[in-house]
Each structure stands twice: as structure tokens, then as C-alpha cells.
Amino acid sequence: ALIAILAGDGIGPEVTAEARRVLEALDLGLTFEEAKVGGAAYEVAGHPLPPETLAVAERADALLFGAVGDPRFDGLERAHRPEQAILGLRKAFGLFANLRPARLFEGLEDASSLRPDIARRIDMVIVRELTGDVYFGAKGRGTTEAGLREGHDLMRYDEEEVARIARVGFETAMRRRRRLLSVDKANVLETSQLWRDVVIEVAKEYPDVALDHMYVDNCAMQLVRDPGQFDVILTGNLFGDILSDQASMCAGSIGMLPSAALGATGKGLYEPIHGSAPDIAGQDKANPCAAILSAAMMLRHSLGQAEAADRIDAAVAGAIRDGARTGDLGGSLSTRAMADAILDRL
Amino acid sequence: ALIAILAGDGIGPEVTAEARRVLEALDLGLTFEEAKVGGAAYEVAGHPLPPETLAVAERADALLFGAVGDPRFDGLERAHRPEQAILGLRKAFGLFANLRPARLFEGLEDASSLRPDIARRIDMVIVRELTGDVYFGAKGRGTTEAGLREGHDLMRYDEEEVARIARVGFETAMRRRRRLLSVDKANVLETSQLWRDVVIEVAKEYPDVALDHMYVDNCAMQLVRDPGQFDVILTGNLFGDILSDQASMCAGSIGMLPSAALGATGKGLYEPIHGSAPDIAGQDKANPCAAILSAAMMLRHSLGQAEAADRIDAAVAGAIRDGARTGDLGGSLSTRAMADAILDRL
Ligand SMILES: CC(C)[C@H](C(=O)O)[C@@H](O)C(=O)O
Ligand SMILES: CC(C)[C@H](C(=O)O)[C@@H](O)C(=O)O
């Protein structure tokens, strides 16, 4: 299989290099092709997601993404800013399902700002819709009748968009504790009311899964109060953006958490949830675990290699359990040394 | 001055009764008029915000609100559900500015799920816009060209809506540490980009306030990681709904936190941030502190009685410091006994 390596900006290149090293060590006959994305692409090609990169992504079976974001380009108008690369890739390949596991690794109980007894129980997956909602609805700037400037973005979903992500939610729940929590704001939003109606309809296809609903504001509270209560959370693009970041932080080390963006075909995009961290870029300090665990998700979801994925997961958990720590975890291992600790356990 | 008491559902009547008792004890010459709202109003008048209640609210100088929400009415279509009362009151009286303080009271360090050293530092105000955004934009259900059901809600702001709430944010910052953080999602939303532009323009009127910006997903993370970093957060209606609930829970005891909804005139609506808690309604168990502190906010913001407000704040803080605790705080005081502990210290 062909893997596109879209390393991006900041620490992206460092951590994806280690993820690639781990994949190579497993000898799965993968081939790799690198392409620029984000600020790194804007710099050479004048666009954060240039056609050359799209072409590489097009022919690849899966995309291993690093991180995008570079303060040098913060002043650009939105269409040219590094983050547009990730929105563009999601849309170009119909990657509508974002899987974001959040769990606390044994040994990292003290990394969370939550009390250890509360943090220890965190083990959830957020299933976030990724190509609809207010992110991709009609948007623009205008002038009101009174001559005032205004800005608008249409929040919307149709029943097919909701049903297909709901199925991903129910399937995920089937592989776990058979409980699905759908999060919306149905007391205020019509979009949410449609969302809720359709999720309830799809639930009939999954009689073994217990479905519940929660308002997004309450969910943000409960994620602080007792995150251990959650197993699989299903939600829309905007609420998922907020809640999944919150949940990751509850689990303590955002340097540990991977994510997947999946579509209707097997192709997926895999990326650490952390950003480009320009402050430590190029210093061999970044934690490569999230990128390495993203590679494991890729093996599992795009390449049918669940066993190899399990081996990587176990090696990361083992290295952490045995005390391997980069700076973000309170240790002093370099990016490369941390990856070595994982490779040793493969 | 005339105070409308809109006690509402569940524990609303119990806690507002104690808040009224505290106000009466201060002998400020206030008069009170009660009116039904929420499920309690629907039951007798067929609407959660009937004309009689609006009329009382209309002639009052300030509204002391309890809580709305009653599981018996969850099945009603949205327009008749209890929560519509609060949306209707905000809109009817142009209450565009929601002030939501979140702080940890001395003695309640253990009530938060955050580590005590992190929780102890929480002391912020969230300034949330309350009559615009996707809450009040054009909304509906429809059918796509392909015959699919869809639901939509328009997110939008115009420059005047943003400027007036921004001024409330800057004024709040002037009374505190002169730092304002505006939270948006300007990397994705045009509404947010307008928001950011206008906030930056209004900042010129407040050269003494340092203005920063943060994306909402990052803010949700930072509220978990280190909530002590925040002082005044300014944000829109939807993001404010989520972040303010999250911040309240970080501070531990949502039974302790009041809120204010203010308009262009002096009239305001004051309510505890907790809900109607039907499970403990009518049992003399609810914590009246949030309602009592809401009454203090009313004295300060609608009635020009800052000194009386300070006295209430100090009495509540004193009672808590001395160990007075209702069930939600791990104690066994009744609603009335807790209020007595506060009255003793007035
Ligand atoms: C960079 C940004 C556009 C993106 C999003 O909001 O989806 C990011 O926050 C994420 O969650 O992947
Ligand atoms: C009840 C609901 C409509 C309301 C809101 O979303 O504004 C509530 O959550 C709040 O924050 O006051």
C-alpha cells in the first residue's frame, strides 16, 4: 500500500518521521511518498494544499498527517492560512467521520489537571462529523439594510449526512460497551432536532446499542465533572471540535492522542491531535507517541492490519508504563529516543 | 423598586424564596410581584411565558429568576417547552449581555474535580452575548432538491451586536485586571471573523485593556488545563453557552454560581446557573447560595446598591468559610438553614 506522508509544519516533520520509522520496522511492504502541506506548502507553492499534494494524496491508500500552523502565516487571509489544508483534505476525500479516542495511559495519572481518581477512568471515543455543519454551510460577509457590516455561516445537516455518521457511531459502540451518547443542542437548534430525529431512526438498525442524548452545554460540564461516565460520544462538526479537544485535555497529555478521519472508501487521514508547536520545532523534543498511535489507527482502519496496530499500541503503552517520557510528560527523552523506546518493545 | 419573582420549576421556588428573604432582611424598600414561568406556567396557562408573566416582567425594575425545566414537558414541541421561557425573556427585554462569574469559594477547594492547586486559582467572568448568533438566526426544516429532510440555523452577527457586547466585555475588564480574551472560531467562521474585526475596533476605545484572542476549541482545552489563566472572557451566544457551563463546573459547585442578563436599560434578569433539579425539588435540600448571589448581582447591576450587594457576597463567603454546607457541598443543611447561616452574617 502507498502511504502519503503530509508532515506539514513545526514539529510535524519530526513526529511523522518517527511514525514512518515504526511502520517500516514492521516490514509490512508499505511504500511512502512525501508531499508538502500547510505553511510549508504555502512557502514553496503559494497555497497550503497545492495540486501536487492533492495528487499524491489522491493516489495514496492512506494519509499520514503531521500538523499544520505557522505563526509567520497568521496574517494571511483565511483561504491561504495553513489550517485550510486540513479542511481541504477532509472535503476533497469526503472524510466525514472523525474518530478521536481519549484515554489516560497507565503511568500518566499525574499528567491530567483532573484529580487522579477521576482522570484514571477516562476511556472514550468521540465520533465527530467532519464535512458538514456550520463549517461548510454557505458563509460570507455582507451589509444589512441599515448599512451595518454583518457576517454569517449557515449551520445545516441533511438526513444522509447525519445517518452515515450515526452509523459510524453505532458501529464504534458495537465494538465497545454498546452505549452511544448523541450530543446536540436540540432545545435551541433545528439542525440539532433533525440530528436527533435521524439518530433515533438509525438506532433501530442497532437494537443492541443503548442510545442516549445530552445537550452540548451539559456535556461540557460532565466532561469536567466525571469524564469516566462516557464511552462513545457522537456529535456534529462544531460541537465535536470543542468537546474532543476538551476531552483530550482531561486525559492529560495531548502528546499521546491520535485521530482518524475516514470516508466511505478505505482511504483515511491520520493525525496526532496536537498542533505544530512552533516553539519546540526542530529541537528533537516533541512527543512522537500521538503520531505513532495515528499510524496504528491507519493500519487498523485503512490497511486491514489490526494485529500490527495492536502491536504498536501495546509498545507505546509499554514504553510509557516503563517510564519513557518526553519533556511534555515531565521527562527528558528526545523525540528519537522516545521512538526508540517504542521500537524496542515492538 | 419592583422586583418580579419568576420562580419557575423544580427547586426554583425554594431557592428564590430564600433570595427574597435575604433581600427583605436588608430593608431596601423593595416590593415583589410573583409570576409563573416555565413548566409551572405551561401547566396553568398553556405557555411557558404567558402574557400575564410578560406584563409583570414589563413593569418590574428587575427580574429574579429561579429555574425552568420539568421532565413532564420534555415531550412537547420546542415552542412550548419550559426553556423557551428564558429565551423569550432575553429577547423580549433585549437582555444581550450575560455575565457569568466563575470562582472557587474559600473552603470548597475539594468540590472541584480539578486538582485543588489548579481549582483554587479560578476567578473569572464570562461575558456571553445573549440575543444573537445561531440561537436567533433564521431556522427551519426543509427538503433538499434530492428530497432529503434537512435542518438549518443561521449563525450571524452584525457589527452593532458585536460592538455593544464587546463594550460590556471591556468595561468588565476595566473593573478587574484589565485583560480581555475574546473567544471565537475565526479560522473557520465568517461570523467569527466579523466578531474579531469589531472587537479589535472597539479595543481602541479602551487603550488600558490588553486584548487577546483564542479559538474556542483551544479555550475549552485551556479551561481544563489551567483555568486560573483566565480573567474576563468575551464570546458569542453559542460558544458562551458551552464555555460558561464548563467553567462553572471547573469551579466545582454549580450550586454557588449566579448570573446576570443585562440590556441597554437598567433592567436585568438574574438567575442561578444551576437548573431546576427535579430530583430534589420540594425537599428543602437545594443550595440557595446561587439564587442569593444572583440577588446580589441584581442589587449591583440593576438597582445601584453595590454596598448591599457586597454585604450579601461577604455573608455567603463567610458562611461557606465557616463550614455551612448543603447536600451538594457534602453537608446536611436544609435550604432554609443555609439561608439562615447567611442571614446571620448580614
Ligand atoms: C484547524 C481547524 C480548522 C480544525 C477544526 O476546527 O476542525 C482543528 O481545530 C481540528 O479539530 O482538527
Ligand atoms: C435552556 C437553554 C435554552 C439555555 C441556553 O442555551 O442559553 C441555557 O443552557 C443557558 O445557558 O441559559
pLDDT digits (tens, 9 = 90+) for B193-202: 999 999 999 9
Task: Give chain B's largest Cα–Cα span.
Answer: 68
**Any catalytic annotation for residue A135?**
yes
Residue B253 has pLDDT above 90, yes or no: no
pTM over 0.85: yes
Instruction: Give pLDDT tens digits for A225-259.
Output: 999 999 999 999 999 999 999 999 999 889 999 99
Lowest-confidence range among A216-220, B75-79, B105-109?
B75-79
Instruction: Give pLDDT tens digits for A110-124.
Output: 889 999 999 999 999
CB-CB neighbours of A117 under 10 Å: 10
Q: Considering only CB atoms, which chain A residues are within 8 Å of B195?
A: 151
How far apart are the C-alpha atoms of B328 and B112, rounded to whole Å? 12
Cα of A241 from ligand 1 centre, angstroms: 6
* Residues 6+ positions from A71 with CB-CB distance below 8 Å: A278
Structure letter (DSSP) for residue B38: T
CB B20 within 8 A of CB B341: no
CB B186 within 8 A of CB B195: yes
Q: Which three cell numbers stand for residue A98?
A: 472523525
Instruction: Give pLDDT tens digits for B30-67.
Output: 999 999 999 999 999 999 999 999 999 999 999 999 99
CB-CB neighbours of B344 under 10 Å: 12
The alpha carbon of residue A76 and the mean position of all alpha carbons in its chain are separated, in whole angstroms, by: 25
Per-residue pLDDT, A78? 85
**Any catalytic annotation for residue A270?**
no
In the beta sheet, which residues pair with residue B123? B103
Q: Which residues line ligand 1 (CB under 6 A)?
A: A 83, 86-87, 241; B 187-188, 217
Question: Using the beta-carbon criterion (under 8 Å), do B134 and A225 form an inter-chain contact?
Answer: no
Which atom of ligand 2 approaches the CA of B271 most closely? 12
pLDDT interval class at A45 (50, 70, 90): very high
Helices (H) and strands (E) in chain B, counts: 12, 12
Mean pLDDT of B92-107: 97
pLDDT interval class at A74 (50, 70, 90): confident
Q: Is A72 helix (H, G, I), strand (E, B) or coil?
A: helix
How far apart are the C-alpha atoms of B288 and B336, rounded to whole Å? 8
pLDDT interval class at B77 (50, 70, 90): confident
pLDDT interval class at A212 (50, 70, 90): very high
How far apart are the C-alpha atoms of A279 and B333, rounded to whole Å? 51
Mean pLDDT of B151-161: 98
How far apart are the C-alpha atoms of B9 and B4, rounded to whole Å? 16
CB A153 within 8 A of CB A139: yes
Cα of B254 from ligand 2 centre, angstroms: 15
Q: Which residues of B are catalytic?
A: 135, 185, 217, 241, 245
Rounded to a whole number of angstroms, the CA Rg of chain B reads 20
Q: Which three cell numbers stand for residue A157?
A: 445537516
Ligand closest to the CA atom of residue A98: 1
CB pairs under 8 A between A and B: 181
CB B173 within 8 A of CB B233: no
* Antiparallel, parallel or unpaired: β A97-103 and A123-129: antiparallel
How far apart are the C-alpha atoms of B230 and B220, rounded to whole Å? 12
Per-residue pLDDT, A41? 97
Residue A77 has pLDDT above 90, yes or no: no
Residue B135 has pLDDT above 90, yes or no: yes
Average pLDDT of the residues of chain A = 97
**Any catalytic annotation for residue A139?**
no
Taking CA atoms only, the protein residue closest to ligand 1 atom 7 is: A241
CB B198 within 8 A of CB A148: no
